[in-house]
Amino acid sequence: MAKGYIRTYYFIEFFSTLSVSFFFATYAVFLFANGLNVMQIGIIASISTASVIIFEVPTGAFADSYGRKISIIAGFVLISVATGIYFISKSFEYFIVAEIIAGLGIVFVSGALDAWIVDSLRNKGPSESIGKIFARGMQANQAGMILGSLSGAYIGSINIALPWAASSLFCMSLAIICAFIMKEEYEICKKRKLMEIMKVATEGIRFSIRNKDIMYVVFFGAAVFFSSKALDIQWSLVFRYAYSLDMKYLGWIVVGFSLFMMAGAQVSIRLMKNIGINRRTIVLSQGLTIFGTLIASLMLGVIPVLSGIFIQEIGRGAIIPLRQAYFSKEGRIPSDKRATVLSFDSMVLSIGGIFGLMASGYLADAYSISIAWMVSGLALLICSIVFLRLQNGK
């Protein structure tokens, strides 16, 4: 029975990323083609992140109160609506509306899926370590990104708006499929009133803040998110306009991102096996992220920039399962607060992301994308040194 849950988890990880990755390679280029500058693109991206901040904890509490399945289904439906709006519109205002809806959809899924697999396996008894399951899930996630982003890049070379239509169709289909294949056999403490949901949210936040071991990893994750946004948003502009690469090649670059993130997930398995799941391991894993970001920022040509970005993707691929495994350690987070705490973590990550988007957008417009990337790498280097000097624990 546990293996059935694991297969379902891998299936959702694969197809959820596939569904939203059709526009990954063309996102910034699409917005740029519709008249937005780098700063405005950062603002559009930060709108979704702001929505995540506003709705993250309440939707996490909703998932804890009414079930992770219905939360995940609602999330995919909302993302389908948001990508549909992108497909039919070309104005800054409608893009903002779409990002708000997308942000709400994202938070209905974030935290809920991890909480669903952890509690499902705890209820039945996992056949393998949860850390390894998360690492494999991350690899399934990146496999979906490879197929989706590559397909989207070729579709986008025909019509740059078509990837959004594909994403909308796939997200709606996934919502329907999840309604049939997901099962919840663990106990759900249902709360029927809004005030009770808010009480769940408040208790989850208080629990997080009072636990220094949780907040350490939460805040470091925010630092990583801050530094990552410059490359996330601006890489396609560099290769499309600075190095004149054809649209379809952007999809192959995303394939490289995914492959190196999958390699990072494999690195995380080695780290968990040889060093253990602790805070120091999480921080040290970002040495590759820092090194790769600084190499890419030198802008020495297509190959050096690609090499730097791929190296930083290994570090980013390693930290995701490391953080998931850390939060999922037996006894660290009570089951009735799990989705709320994970949503709180995602909310803090999003705050770091907003500052990263705004800072990198300003630096790119005022100076250059190269400067924006260099500052991002140096900021993460400084944060890593500070966190390593703080008292560490398991």
Least confident of 33-42, 64-73, 172-181, 327-336: 327-336
* Cβ-contact 147, 52 below 8 angstroms: no
* Cβ-contact 60, 342 below 8 angstroms: yes
- The percent of residues above 90 in pLDDT, for the chain, comes to 38
**CA proximity to 167, closest of 156, 178, 179:** 156
Give the pLDDT mean for 216-242: 90
- Six-digit token string for 87: 């497909």
391 phi, psi to nearest 5 deg: -65, 125
Better-predicted residue by pLDDT, 297 or 139 = 297
Angle at 13 between CA 321 and CA 117, to 5 degrees: 70
pLDDT band at 95 (very low <50, low <70, confident <90, very high): very high
pLDDT at 194: 53
Which DSSP helix (H) or strand (E) runs through 136? helix 130-158
What's the mean per-residue pLDDT of the chain?
A: 85
Q: Reply yes or no on whether the pLDDT at 226 is more than 90.
A: yes
pTM of the model: 0.72
159 phi, psi to nearest 5 deg: -150, 120
Q: Reply yes or no on whether the pLDDT at 192 is more than 60.
A: no
The gap from C-alpha 320 to its chain's centroid, in whole angstroms, comes to 9
pLDDT at 383: 94
The amino acid occupying position 304 is P
pLDDT band at 393 (very low <50, low <70, confident <90, very high): very low
Q: Reply yes or no on whether the pLDDT at 382 is more than 90.
A: yes
Q: What's the CA dihedral at 15, 17, 23, 27 to 10 degrees?
A: 170
Cα separation, 188 vs 185, whole angstroms: 9
Q: Reply yes or no on whether the pLDDT at 190 is more than 70.
A: no
pLDDT at 196: 63
pLDDT band at 309 (very low <50, low <70, confident <90, very high): very high
pLDDT tens sequence across 99-119: 999 989 988 887 788 888 887
pLDDT at 394: 47
Better-predicted residue by pLDDT, 274 or 214 = 214
Q: DSSP labels for 342-369?
A: HHHHHHHHHHHHHHHHHHHHHHHHHT-H
pLDDT tens sequence across 332-373: 788 777 777 887 887 788 889 889 988 998 999 889 999 999
pLDDT at 73: 94
Please give the C-alpha separations between residue 195 and each of 39, 202, 256, 331, in angstroms, as whole numbers. Answer: 39, 10, 46, 27
pLDDT band at 130 (very low <50, low <70, confident <90, very high): confident
Angle at 292 between CA 289 and CA 297, to 5 degrees: 120
Q: Return the CATH superfamily for domain 2-181+193-389.
A: MFS general substrate transporter like domains (1.20.1250.20)
pLDDT at 15: 94
Q: Reply yes or no on whether the pLDDT at 307 is more than 90.
A: yes
